Amino acid sequence: MTVSATARRTVRVDLGDRSYDILIGPGLIAAAGREIALRLKGRKIAVITDEHVAPLYLDGFMAALKAEGIDAVSLVLPAGEKTKSFEHLISVCDSVLAARIERNDAVVALGGGVIGDLTGFAAGIVRRGSRFIQVPTSLLAQVDSSVGGKTGINSPHGKNLIGVFHQPDLVLADTDVLDTLSPREFRAGYAEVAKYGLIDKPDFFAWLEGNWQAVFAGGEARIEAIATSCQAKADVVAADERENGQRALLNLGHTFGHALEAATRYDSARLVHGEGVSIGMVLAHQFSARMNLCSPDDGKRVEAHLRAVGLPTTMGEIPGSLPPAEVLMDAIAQDKKVKAGKLTFILTRGVGQSFVADDVPQSEVIAFLKEKLPT
């Protein structure tokens, strides 16, 4: 498929001499060779993907590179959150070095957020920093993890606790690939789309409430939702690249969500990241209401929308048992947003009015979790 100028959208992440484009639209995997060749000084690429994505897109992607005279090798990893480990990080680094990828060449992540995070970490440390290209194949990766340079792997102590900031040189978000996602995967990615409205774009959240079915169906509404999300993240990243301040707002729902992921041992059969974020965003609004920061109606509105699209909104919807509130609190206390031992949460004064709250009392969080945990 040929990408038309009208179908494609471009979002620029403005970071001075490290600025890069996010291309959004149909047919971008087929056009990947041309887009990469325009920006790549080297002529070699290591493509990292997983066993779910490879049968669908690896051959076409490699053919697009070959058509532009780019020499490429590939590595196919197991799919799933557990791939974000030291074991697989070593495997990726060894494969990149064995392929003799140099700094002017590139490492490409062809996959969802797991592959993007892992590959970006490897690119950030191999040869003390290699060029890196994101080709996200899930909605969650297209609107969130592929943009902004956060890379990493998980630890038994928590999610994404080991990693580096390493910006990509290009992001190719092919919207055609989203048609192959399962309904569950697409809904999980949609949670991150809704997040941008809940942070500081109440008009966008209202638009999603009225147009979410069109976003799910595809076409222009989907491209618009992805482009708006990417622009929102690009603006925040440009202002606060390393999360020293307002970039933390992008973690709305993630403090609770990451704790739930750790509690389920990253078992995707029980909970995937976007589902954790969905529950976390509802909890963040409910906790804010408990702290008299917003109206309980705000939490009800958020819960109603996320439930309408088919996302879980309560901890009781997670299959299997969950640990007690004190154990969840330990996971929260390991979160990267903790500073000098003080809890930092993203709370809200209403839909689209999120803010960074420092030094949230642990006793309040534990009491809240005890109320919300299923009996």
As annotated, the active-site residues are 128, 150, 192, 233, 243, 247, 251, 254, 258, 273
Q: Is 153 annotated as a binding residue?
A: no
Q: Is 272 exposed, middle or buried (0-12, 13-18, 19+ CB in 10 A)?
A: buried
117 is in an annotated binding site: yes
Structure tokens at 158: 């928590």
Q: Is 10 annotated as a binding residue?
A: no
50 Cα distance to chain centroid: 17
Residue 44 assigned as binding residue: no
Beta-bridged to residue 50, according to DSSP, are 77
302 is in an annotated binding site: no
User: Alpha helices, DSSP H only, in the chain?
Assistant: 32-39, 59-67, 86-98, 113-125, 139-140, 183-200, 202-217, 220-239, 254-263, 273-290, 296-308, 325-333, 362-372
Q: Determine if residue 255 is labeled as part of a ligand binding site.
A: no
Residue 341, annotated as binding a ligand: no
- Report whether 114 belongs to an annotated binding site: yes
Instruction: Please list the residues that pair with 76 across neighbouring strands.
Output: 49
Residues 6+ apart with CB under 8 A from 167: 13, 15, 18, 20, 132, 148, 149, 241
Q: Binding site annotation covers 115?
A: yes
What distance in Å separates the CA atoms of residue 189 and residue 105, rounded to the nearest whole number?
Answer: 30
Contact 264/178 with Cβ under 8 angstroms? no
273 labelled binding-site residue: yes
C-alpha to C-alpha distance for 237 and 367, rounded to whole angstroms: 34
The binding site for Zn(2+) consists of: 192, 254, 273
